[in-house]
Amino acid sequence: MKTDQRLKDGSYHDLRSAGFSCHQLNRNDHNSHINCNSASSVKGRVYLVGAGPNDPELLTLKALRVIKRADVIVYDRLVNREILNFAPVHCQRIYVGKRCGQPSLEQQEISRLLVEFAVLGKTVVRLKGGDPFIFGRGGEEALMLAKHNLEYQVIPGITAAIGCAASSFIPLTHRQVARSVTLVTGQVVTGALPAWSQLVNAGQTLVFYMGLEKSEQISAGLMEYGLSGDFPLAIVTHGCSPQQIVHVTSLDQLVSKANELKGVSPALIILGEVVKLRKELQTTVESVISQEEV
């Protein structure tokens, strides 16, 4: 397969194999100088863009506008490929998605890739599923761009918690039921701040991103600090897509349900009393729709 084609369809995993002769990637030196011999005297601009959770119709007008004039789109695994069709014909489409157990670029390399295209004078769209600043590592990319005095703009997107909750008929907040929402990465159990006691507060909704693989630790941690086993939760798989499925269960069944769904991605875990509202809201909507069709 020719290099140009691999750039368009994103079917490569290594920058060197894609023909980037100016890349001098040293994983042991994150501060090494970036220099391309063919660098343009006019620097480009980078847009860190949230593509939303799967559904192309959830893309913002601002995001659509910059995609339509991009020279390069660097996109993640969870970006709906239909969105790429909005880009101009000449636009290079570069896949840098990450999936457990499969080859992928490291984050530092992705950040440096954005810098190098901007140095070449390109208009670059870094396209991410959901929102770039919510578990999207957009902050790391922005810092790298700022370090090299490159112009960039952040265009927010609908994050998975908001999109999946809406499409599942689960209000994240509800008067007298949930007065706050906490978004948590499933990696919190192995990070520096497990802080389960801070997560177990009455009247709030918890949303775990990337939590299925850590279901055992999440379940044990929350119950140890006071949540009951029958605490309601929902697991939303393939949210905001035609393949979406909502699995309503309880905290003490989280581990078994996660094992049942092993390998399914993306998946979002919503915990809270608001999950109980889903049945009534869904039934009401379906009833209204059926009456309109009569």
Say if residue 28's pLDDT is above 70. no
Q: 3-158 — its CATH code?
A: 3.40.1010.10
Report for 186-190, 193-197, 252-256: range of highest mean pLDDT: 252-256
**What pLDDT score does 151 carry?**
96
**What pLDDT score does 40 carry?**
58
**Fold of domain 161-281:** 3.30.950
Q: Classify 34 in phi/psi space as left (phi over 0), alpha (psi -120 to 50) or beta.
A: beta
Q: Return contacts of 101-109, CB within 8 angstroms, 24+ apart.
A: 103/13, 103/14, 104/13, 105/13, 105/14, 105/15, 106/27, 107/137, 107/140, 108/27, 108/30, 109/15, 109/25, 109/27
Q: pLDDT tens digit string along 109-139?
A: 999 999 999 999 999 999 999 999 999 999 9
Say if residue 179's pLDDT is above 50. yes
- Work out the mean pLDDT of the chain and round it to a whole number: 84
The catalytically annotated residue of 8, 62, 98, 276 is: 98
Which of 223, 236, 108 is closest to 164 using CA atoms?
236
**What is the mean pLDDT of the segment spanning 193-219?**
84
The catalytically annotated residue of 55, 76, 131, 214 is: 76
Catalytic residue check, 98: yes
Phi and psi at residue 14, to the nearest 5°: -130, 130
Report for 183-187, 216-220, 253-257: range of highest mean pLDDT: 253-257
Kindly report the pTM of this predicted structure. 0.82
What are the structural domain ranges in the chain?
3-158, 161-281
59's tokens:
């893309």
Catalytic residue check, 214: no
**What pLDDT score does 197 carry?**
75
